[in-house]
């Protein structure tokens, strides 16, 4: 019996629904590891064969046949190394979230997930039935525990594996990113490794799926709960660790990769979110309005870092109230990033619309209608370019604006993907300064000047909204922490301001429901994990 085992952690970017393609990636990765020699097992992520989350694809009648074919291919084409891979499968008439162990052409063991997450972005109870059997299999005479994602967030499966004689725990995961997530994972995995007194080998999916980003960061904890190894975030890679099942000692066979900084981690999540959404959906590139403001400037930087300058196009669409500074700054940003930049005035379109609406507007005062019409002219231009060139329109609203409805339906909300949808305005400034440390692409005066939509003379955002420091603090308490208006007021915020902000959030649900998706980076983004009715008699005031 070999004293030690070498386990490879395969941190792979799978494509949801592409079962043949995902299967080929598993086969190629496993055979590459086998060809290098000296490895006993390759560990893949949760639901690797379907990608995660597969959502209602799990309800398709052909799913079982496709998974059977995929497993048959792996059994036939992988040799000289064991594989642990995730997939959905019926077991006793119930669909389970499974992990299978394949050795020398045989499916020697299957484990079904016990704990099904049904909170935030997770809907697993919609599709799967939980199991209760402890995951234990033998490899080279050693008992190894198996867990799938949520299982290792609970102590019961950990204790059960220890009591069943496991000498190490392997965990397959599809754990999406939000700010602070790496620290949460590491702390809990360390606690449970200490609880079991066993090494814990944790592999995580990498890449983006719609609004979710999976950040990788696969890790290994030793039997004392010390972090022995951490893999790269946001990058595909395969890492190896040598495990001594008798002593619980682990020896990474490559150096650990430090966790990125707070700003770097969030910025890279945005880059991966854009890159995978555009590439996996087959778009040629992106186009967006570059206004000379900070939101579109940061969006431009993210887009270029995701796709390269040749696949990014921006349009400055000035109007009467657009300052010369904005026109200049937009041109400077485009030049610094090396992207195609054009200028199309919306004045002729706007005047034509207003002329046609003269009869409808007769006797009515000027109001936000005329401001919204400017935004809608810009939306029409961008969508026309999108249709003609096959470029997806990126929108540039941030979370603060999206929360309170400071945006125009069929105007600046027109598009296919919102890069900053979950980025509060105060974080937009932090990320912009961070990006300039890599290379200076956002002019300093864009960061310093008061933000403005420039839809009327001398307009600033604070004409309509509270100061962003105060607004973002209130929004975080109300949206991400679910505090009531009274609880927020009790923290020292103005009652008038809180009630106004809360009301704006509630009445603009209809806008958010029609907004494009965007990368999620908080624990409560507008999308999969915040689902409020549009029509509602609920009163959020005190």
Active site residue ranges: 46, 113, 149
Cα–Cα nearest to 444, from 304, 332, 334, 290: 332
CA-CA distance, 360 to 139, in Å (whole number)?
A: 78
Q: Are 79 and 34 in contact (CB under 8 A)?
A: yes
Question: Is 443 exposed, middle or buried (CB count within 10 Å of its CB: 0-12, 13-18, 19+)?
Answer: buried
Q: 3-state DSSP: the chain helix, strand, coil percent, rounded to 5?
A: 40, 20, 40
Residues 6+ apart with CB under 8 A from 397: 295, 406, 407, 412, 413, 418, 420, 421, 515
Cα–Cα nearest to 128, from 74, 69, 47: 47
The alpha carbon dihedral of 382, 384, 385, 387 has a sign of positive
Cα–Cα nearest to 250, from 216, 221, 219: 221
Q: Are 226 and 186 in contact (CB under 8 A)?
A: no
Phi, psi of 101 (to 5 degrees): -110, 120
Nearest-10 Cα torsion for 236, 238, 241, 243: 110
Q: Which helix (H) or strand (E) holds 243?
A: strand 237-244
Q: 250 in helix, strand or coil?
A: strand
Q: 129 in helix, strand or coil?
A: coil
Q: Are 320 and 347 in contact (CB under 8 A)?
A: yes
In angstroms, the Cα distances linking 536 to 6, 112, 540, 542 are 56, 40, 11, 17
Q: Are 302 and 334 in contact (CB under 8 A)?
A: no
Sole residue written with tokens 């046609």:
356
Q: Are 205 and 47 in contact (CB under 8 A)?
A: no
CA-CA distance, 246 to 76, in Å (whole number)?
A: 32
Pairing, β 312-316 against β 285-289: parallel
Angle at 187 between CA 186 and CA 188, to 5 degrees: 95
**Residues 481-489: contacts with CB under 8 Å, at least 24 apart:** 481/524, 482/524, 484/540, 485/540, 485/541, 485/542, 486/542, 489/542
Sole residue written with tokens 């016990």:
114
**The tokens of 27 are what?**
């086969």
């Amino acid at each position: 019996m070999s004293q030690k085992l070498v386990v490879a952690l395969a941190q792979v970017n799978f494509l949801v629904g592409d079962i043949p393609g995902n299967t080929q990636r598993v086969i190629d990765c496993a055979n590459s590891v086998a060809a290098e020699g000296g490895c006993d097992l390759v560990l893949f992520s949760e639901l690797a064969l379907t990608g995660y989350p597969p959502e209602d694809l799990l309800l398709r009648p052909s799913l079982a046949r496709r998974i059977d074919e995929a497993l048959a291919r792996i059994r036939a084409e992988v040799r000289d190394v064991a594989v642990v891979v995730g997939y959905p499968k019926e077991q006793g008439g119930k669909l389970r979230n499974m992990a299978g162990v394949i050795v020398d052409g045989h499916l020697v063991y299957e484990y079904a997930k016990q704990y099904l997450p049904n909170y935030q972005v997770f809907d697993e109870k919609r599709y799967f039935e939980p199991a209760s059997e402890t995951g234990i299999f033998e490899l080279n005479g050693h008992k190894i525990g198996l867990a799938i994602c949520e299982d290792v967030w609970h102590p019961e499966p950990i204790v059960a594996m220890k009591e069943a004689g496991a000498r190490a725990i392997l965990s397959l995961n599809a754990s999406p990113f939000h700010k602070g997530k790496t620290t949460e994972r590491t702390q809990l995995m360390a606690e449970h490794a200490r609880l079991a007194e066993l090494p814990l080998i944790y592999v995580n999916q990498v890449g983006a799926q719609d609004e979710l980003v999976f950040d990788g960061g696969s890790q290994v904890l030793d039997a004392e709960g010390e972090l022995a190894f951490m893999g790269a975030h946001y990058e595909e890679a395969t890492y190896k660790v040598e495990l001594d099942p008798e002593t619980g000692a682990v020896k990474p066979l490559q150096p650990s990769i430090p966790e990125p900084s707070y700003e770097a981690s969030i910025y890279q999540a945005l880059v991966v979110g854009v890159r995978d959404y555009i590439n996996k959906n087959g778009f040629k590139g992106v186009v967006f309005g570059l206004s000379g403001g900070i939101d579109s400037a940061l969006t431009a930087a993210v887009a270029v870092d995701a796709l390269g300058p040749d696949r990014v196009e921006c349009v400055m669409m000035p109007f009467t109230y657009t300052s010369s500074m904005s026109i200049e700054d937009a041109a400077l940003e485009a030049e610094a990033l090396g992207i195609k930049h054009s200028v199309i005035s919306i004045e002729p379109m706007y005047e034509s619309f207003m002329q046609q609406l003269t009869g409808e507007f007769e006797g009515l005062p000027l109001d936000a209608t005329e401001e919204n019409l400017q935004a809608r002219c810009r939306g029409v231009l961008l969508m026309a370019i999108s249709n003609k060139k096959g470029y997806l329109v990126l929108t540039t609203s941030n979370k603060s604006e999206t929360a309170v409805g400071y945006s125009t339906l069929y105007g600046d909300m027109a598009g296919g993907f919102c890069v900053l949808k979950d980025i509060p305005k105060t974080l937009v400034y932090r990320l912009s300064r961070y990006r300039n440390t890599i290379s200076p692409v956002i002019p300093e005066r864009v960061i310093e000047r008061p933000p403005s939509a420039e839809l009327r003379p001398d307009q600033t955002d604070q004409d309509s909204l509270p100061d962003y420091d105060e607004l973002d603090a209130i929004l975080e308490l109300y949206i991400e922490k679910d505090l009531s208006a009274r609880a927020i007021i009790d923290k020292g915020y103005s009652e008038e301001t809180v009630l106004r902000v809360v009301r704006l959030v509630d009445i603009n649900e209809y806008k958010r429901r029609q907004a494009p998706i965007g990368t999620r980076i908080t624990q409560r983004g507008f999308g999969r994990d915040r689902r409020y009715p549009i029509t509602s008699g609920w009163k959020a005031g005190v």
